[in-house]
Structure 1
């Protein structure tokens, strides 16, 4: 089997009984017929390679967005396809899982759709749309957001709004959402106007709060401590702070403060909607980072089978700009 020469790189394929390599000085390498590594082992190796590679910055407002490998990382992974068929198949699925392709005119088309708030609301109100995760970025016209959110009142489990509580429409504040367990936000604003916001019926069943950790931001810390002084949902058990991959966070002061309130404190990198739903399925007490990452990788490895943990349940993610 002929292999292309690779500039300034040397790769090694390890089999059960031998190892083969190609370097910039070797134009061809004859790959013997020794057994290759099991597919499961190859997947684990690729998983760790993907985990160590660099990605383009993802949209923190959209948990459905797939992390996109940067160009150099993608080229390095694609070169590993030359090792054997097992590597080729695994690498292909892993790289494909990080791609989001669209037609050239798609962006303009989607921008037009975002303006049609009435059509979006009617679409969401169709009977049978069992939406569990909703991400909303409201505009000035509050009624559009209200109608959209109310449509999923009895099925919603995870709710995101970038700024809380000031962006919550007035009509929703005293409305109950029986299945709502997870709230996600980025900013806390409006505490002066709504000091009791966590005691609203809307948040009565909330068990997990996911928010951004603003490293070194004293104003954010002061505001968040103020939140902890206010009445909290009776079932709130965990707070997950989203941090940058570059930093290892150990905020002992915040952790101890939450511990006195009986609330678990966790620091994690960006969560996908799959991971958020996974944390609502009874494992939030552990918040096992490795399990979540492994689950996400399996979804990336086999994009065709990207389904929620419980495949029998319908899961639809809706991101709206109304």
Structure 2
């Protein structure tokens, strides 16, 4: 996929300011190179498909932007969850959200039912750090029979970090029993993720072909 042209920083700031604070710069502001009407175009909202949620530093603005984009957002990056997901976002429906990526699992004992939050109801792919999180997943799926994964989840993508090791802790047969495929990658960038969600978007007679295309895209890069 060819790289896209970056937007000027003042336009990005204007978009965030518009979505989060419901205000706008005046047109003759010396720092503003975009007209306010630019932000009212439906195409602006539709074009934002991936968002990185960065609590606790920008929690209010990030939360407001996610809710403003709830009907177009397809992938969400959250460094830490479930404890860093604000209460009013947990039960919010994001109908197009199909992919979630995280690095750390925090607060899992405080929120045993987090996988059943409305936020995750349409998620088909989890991308997470293998070396940081595989122990958690193996432990909770073995020991907590009340724990339920999101209903549409079909793929776990484990990122093996540089210098990381692989150990079979019994996690993969458990996931396989729930019809969830496990994949291993050394890295995944935004272009890889956009490719995945494009394939997830295939419907009707193309859905089965999309399933195989997704599996091809997730062919293991890391040799165990």
Do Structure 1 and Structure 2 share a fold, with TM-score over 0.5? yes
**Equivalent of residue 172 in structure 1, options 71, 74, 89:** 89
Check whether the contact 2:129–2:161 (CA below 8 A) recurs between aligned residues: no
Which structure 2 residues correspond to residues 99-114 of structure 1 after superposition, within 5 A? none
Q: Which residue of 1 aligns with 2:192?
A: 275
Check whether the contact 1:138–1:167 (CA below 8 A) recurs between aligned residues: yes
Cα separation, partners in 2 of 1:191 and 1:134, compared to 1, 3 Å = same
C-alpha displacement of 1:244 = 2.7
Long gaps (5+) in structure 1: 1-92, 98-105, 294-322
- Between the aligned partners of 2:15 and 2:195, the Cα distance in structure 1 is 31
Check whether the contact 1:279–1:287 (CA below 8 A) recurs between aligned residues: no
Structure 1 outlier segments of 4+, above 6 Å: 290-293
Q: Which residue of 1 aligns with 2:70?
A: 153
Q: Which residue of 2 aligns with 1:288?
A: 216
Q: Is 1:188 the equivalent of 2:105?
A: yes
Q: Which residue of 2 aligns with 1:132?
A: 49
Q: Is 1:122 the equivalent of 2:18?
A: yes
Check whether the contact 1:121–1:148 (CA below 8 A) recurs between aligned residues: no
- Between the aligned partners of 1:222 and 1:250, the Cα distance in structure 2 is 10
Which structure 2 residues correspond to residues 230-269 of structure 1 after superposition, within 5 A? 230-244=147-161, 249=166, 251=168, 253-269=170-186
CA deviation vs aligned residue, 1:210-247 (integer Å, no higher than 9, x gap): 00111xx6xx4442234434211111011000113556
C-alpha displacement of 1:288 = 2.0
Q: Which residue of 2 aligns with 1:66?
A: none
Cα separation, partners in 2 of 1:270 and 1:157, compared to 1, 3 Å = same
Cα separation, partners in 2 of 1:259 and 1:277, compared to 1, 3 Å = same
Q: Which residue of 2 aligns with 1:224?
A: 137
Cα separation, partners in 2 of 1:198 and 1:213, compared to 1, 3 Å = same
Check whether the contact 2:184–2:220 (CA below 8 A) recurs between aligned residues: no
- Between the aligned partners of 1:263 and 1:290, the Cα distance in structure 2 is 13
Cα separation, partners in 2 of 1:247 and 1:292, compared to 1, 3 Å = closer
Secondary structure of 1:186's counterpart equals strand
Secondary structure of 1:271's counterpart equals coil
Cα separation, partners in 2 of 1:175 and 1:150, compared to 1, 3 Å = same
> What TM-score results when the alignment is normalised by the length of structure 2?
0.67
Q: Which residue of 2 aligns with 1:320?
A: none
Secondary structure of 1:233's counterpart equals coil
Secondary structure of 2:170's counterpart equals helix
Q: Which residue of 2 aligns with 1:209?
A: 126
The structure that has the greater radius of gyration is 1
The alignment of Structure 1 onto Structure 2 pairs a total of residues equal to 180
Check whether the contact 1:173–1:200 (CA below 8 A) recurs between aligned residues: yes
> What TM-score results when the alignment is normalised by the length of structure 1?
0.48
Long gaps (5+) in structure 2: 23-38, 201-209
